[in-house]
Amino acid sequence: MITKEKLFEIREKIKPSLVENLLEGDRVEFRGEDLVLKGEYYKKQVRIALKNCDIIDPTNIDEYIAFDGYFALLKALTELEPGDVVDEITESLLRGRGGAGFPTGRKWNEAYKYQADKKYIICNADEGDPGAFMDRSILEKDPHSVLEGMALGGYAIGSDQGYIYVRAEYPMAVKRLQIAIDQAREYGLLGKNIFGTGFNFDIELRLGSGAFVCGEGTALMESIEGRRGMPRPKIHRTAHKGLWGKPTIINNVETLANVPVIMNKGAKWFRGIGTEESPGTKVFALVGKVENAGLVEVPMGMTLREIVFDIGGGAQDGKEYKAVQTGGPSGGCIPAELIDTPVDFESLGKIWSIMGSGGMVVMDENTCMVDIAKFFLDFSVEESCGKCVPCREGTKRMYEILDRITKGEGVEGDIERLEELSETVSSTSLCGLGQTAPNPVITTIKYYRHEYEAHIKKKSCPAKSCKALIKYEITEGCIGCTRCAKVCPVVAITGKVKEMHHIDQSICIKCGACYDVCPVDAISII
Amino acid sequence: MEFKFDMEENKEQIQAFREFLDSKKDTPGPLMPSLQRAQDVFGYLPKEMLEVISRKLSIPMAEIYGVATFYSQFSFIPTGRNKISVCLGTACYVKGAQSILEEIETQLGIKSGETTKDEIFSIASARCVGDCSIAPVILVNEDVYAKVKKDDIKEILSKYN
């Protein structure tokens, strides 16, 4: 079992050569006292949750210790009372990074005050939003930060058992977590009598099996208990009656990764980053049609423009930037004109979107907003657990309307019907999935009503994306190279060599193969 | 499709699975890990094994069936030797993942969620595998293919035939 002295010894022994090797590799540089990744992409970033990612070897606990790993746990166990840890986190104003932004300290305090013979702490690693992979990166690249965060949480609320509920779609994360847990147990950083202080804490991995709704706290607990992952009515607070009826704290991966750093550097330091109401940083998965896709961690309050353009390099291939979608199926589309909105919990709420877990999907001029709304509704229909009728049936009806609109079969009144259904579904569903499922529809109608109207009234898709509403035509620029005719899977293109070709619209299936292959861009979509 | 679970051929795995169930009996909430193990070892959930779970863990078949049907990762038919997952997450979707899926379906002559007759391939659509920066992505077993184009499909599939 590791002692206080041994922990110091590992750090002193490993750190110098590790830093030297890293600097030699030329991927990192010093920023103040911290080692950070080098390059233009990282200049504007402030990495707290990702501080070790791509720097240390995640399968080597010594490297985590070298960068002050498990020192926060040591300090808490040897110098602080559980109440002090709760106070420090409360003071830091750390808010849940899973999406809702509930203050972590307040959550912990509820469980801390509640007397029980058994308490649980759960790490919600069921990251399911399409377009988001923040948590996956932390789990794979710095798993010990999550374990340490959980142990601190366990000490704070008086729990000796933690669970990590991780989705089965992340096999590498599961592997790395298991390695990390085994190493921590071997060092005695998990298990009985940690640092000889009498504090016991262990962690067990539990896997999801492909149900998005299990990211919802009560559904997650149902799943761990071995039932269908359906949300419970919230008669009791989870902090009082959660897993197996015992006080339970559920924290997101990124939230937990912040905890050790806050305990090391202090709540005051943390509040110096970000905004007054949302201190700290947030990790975003900047993806979609953006030049530099990847993970970014920035101080709260940074504007969308800085994230999408200064870090992300704007839309791909010189196309026009159209919108950014945040918050996954629960979030909304933010149009180009609102690009100067600061990104924090409050500001995004004001423009009808949400922070969500951190997915940030960039869309360009060729993305149809009705189709995007349909995509998210399809997701919600598929993932609705079926417990609440408005969510189960309402999302399905909304999907059908959107499907009709994208096929050119929309009718007058469809937009109003969508709005009415949105209202019903969001106000009468039990859990967050149903309550927020209409958001993508609400925001796209709010900001892109004209696109809906074009589909319904003019039977046209302004983004030229909906198959049923476009046609491919060969224009005069055609040089008769015959490549389009060769590639057409249904032989709809005819024409002689070196003469202009023609597409038979009655045969064309609008696959776009000819459009992709034309060397002179003579095929246009109308 | 027709299939039969071969008890004789799977004898050793069944024995190991029974031992696994014995070790889980006293841990709280053993059902999910047991189903996951069965899916892992046998490639799907054979009815015969669900009955074993039911007896060992004293959970009624109806309840097991209810849980197993809820989660999309459990299958009641054998899956192919090679599992193709086409990511349909947002980033992949905006980059044309739907047409990639359709292309694979056409080439294999099966729909998503089905297994080819020779049990070589099965297709599933996946909800975001978390590789959005290299979208569109498909997975064959654990191999990740990045920035896939329709033209690449034939070559990718041929590697697993």
Tell me: the pLDDT tens digits for B94-115? 788 999 999 999 999 999 988 8
Q: Cβ contact (<8 Å) for B67 and A227?
A: yes
Residue-by-residue DSSP string for B105-119: HHHHT--TT-B-TTS
- Give, in order, the Cα–Cα distances in Å from A111 to each of A66, A95, A115, A237, A521: 32, 16, 8, 9, 64
CA nearest to A50, candidates A181, A163, A157, A139: A139
- Give A230's contacts in chain B (Cβ within 8 Å): 70
Angle between helices A253-265 and A134-141 (to 10 degrees): 60
Contacts of B22 (CB under 8 A, 6+ apart): B56
Residue B38 lies in a domain: yes
Between CA B158 and CA B161 the distance in angstroms is 5
CB contact under 8 A, B32 and A223: yes
Instruction: Judge whether B5 lies within some domain.
Output: no
Closest CA to A8 of A78, A82, A83: A78
Best residue in B25, B27, B32 for a mutation probing chain A (most A CBs within 10 Å): B32
**B113 and B63 inside one domain:** no
Binary contact (A130, B142; C-beta < 8 A): no
Are B66 and B92 within one domain?
no
CB contacts of A359 in chain B (<8 Å) are 90
Task: Point out the domain boundary residue: B42, B70, B98.
Answer: B70
Q: Specify whether B102 is located in the same domain as B141.
A: yes
Q: How confident is the model at residue B1 (pLDDT cuts 50, 70, 90)?
A: low
Find the domain containing B29 and state its range.
11-70
Contact criterion met (CB < 8 Å) for A244 and B133:
no
The answer as to whether B77 is a domain residue is: no
Chain A residues inside the 8 Å CB shell of B130: 127, 132-133, 136, 169-170
Q: Within this chain, do residues B17 and B56 fall inside the same structural domain, yes or no?
A: yes
Contact yes or no for A371/A424 (Cβ under 8 A): no
Q: Are residues B55 and B88 in the same domain?
A: no
Which residues on adjacent β-strands are paired with residue B138? Answer: B86, B145
Do residues B26 and B62 both lie within one domain? yes
- B33: which chain A residues are within 8 Å (Cβ-Cβ)? 206-207
Q: Round to the nearest angstrom and report the end-to-end CA distance of chain B.
A: 20
B63 and B87 share one domain: no
- For range A14-28, the mean pLDDT: 92
Report the complex ipTM. 0.84
Task: Convert the pLDDT of each residue in A183-228 to its tens digit.
Answer: 999 999 999 999 999 999 999 999 999 899 999 999 999 999 999 9
3-state secondary structure of A297: strand
- List CB contacts (< 8 A) between A229 and chain B: 70-71
How far apart CA A182 and CA A144 sit, in angstroms, is 11
Query: Which residues on chain B are in Cβ contact (under 8 Å) with A127?
Result: 130
Specify the residue for token string 């861009």. A521
Name the A residues in 172-231 with CB < 8 Å from any B CB.
Answer: 206-212, 223-230
For residue A349, the number of C-alpha atoms closer than 13 Å in the C-beta half-sphere is 7
Please give the Cα distance from A197 to A79 (Å, whole number): 11
The string of pLDDT tens digits covering residues A32-41 is: 889 999 999 9
Closest residue to B132, CB basis, from A131, A207, A212? A131
**Tens digits of per-residue pLDDT, A415-456?**
999 999 999 999 999 999 999 999 999 999 999 999 999 999
How many domains in chain B?
2
**Closest approach of chain A CAs to the CA of B63, in angstroms?**
8
CATH code, B134: 3.40.30.10
Average pLDDT of the residues of chain A: 94
Same domain, B43 and B87: no
B75 inside domain: no
Confidence at A152, pLDDT banded by 50, 70, 90: very high
All residues at 6 or more sequence positions from A180 whose CB lies less than 8 Å from its CB, including other chains? A58, A59, A61, A143, A144, A147
Look at residues B70, B90, B110 and tell me which one is the last residue of a structural domain: B70
Nearest to A151 by CA among A201, A97, A93, A84: A201
Question: b/e map of B43-76 (b: 16 or more CB within 10 Å)?
Answer: bbbbeebbebbbebbebeeeebeebbebbbbbbe
Q: What is the mean pLDDT of residues B3-30?
A: 90
Range with lowest mean pLDDT among A26-30, A76-80, A452-456, B93-97:
B93-97
Tell me whether residue B76 is in a domain. Answer: no
Domains, chain A? 4-21+52-271 (3.40.50.11540), 281-364 (3.10.20.600), 369-458 (1.20.1440.230), 471-525 (3.30.70.20)
Q: Which of B80, B78, B22 is nearest to B52 (CA)?
A: B22
> B6 in a domain, yes or no?
no
Beta strand extents in chain B (DSSP E only):
82-87, 121-126, 138-140, 143-145
Residues B49 and B86 in one domain: no
A285 touches chain B (CB under 8 A): yes
Q: What's the distance, CA A44 to chain centroid?
A: 20
The answer to whether position B1 is within a domain reads: no
Q: Are residues B114 and B88 in the same domain?
A: yes
Whether residues B16 and B58 share a domain: the answer is yes
Residue B124 included in any domain: yes
B38/B63 same-domain check: yes
Structure tokens at B30: 């053993």
Q: What integer is the mean pLDDT of A244-257?
A: 97
Average pLDDT over residues A499-505: 93
Residue A388 DSSP label: S
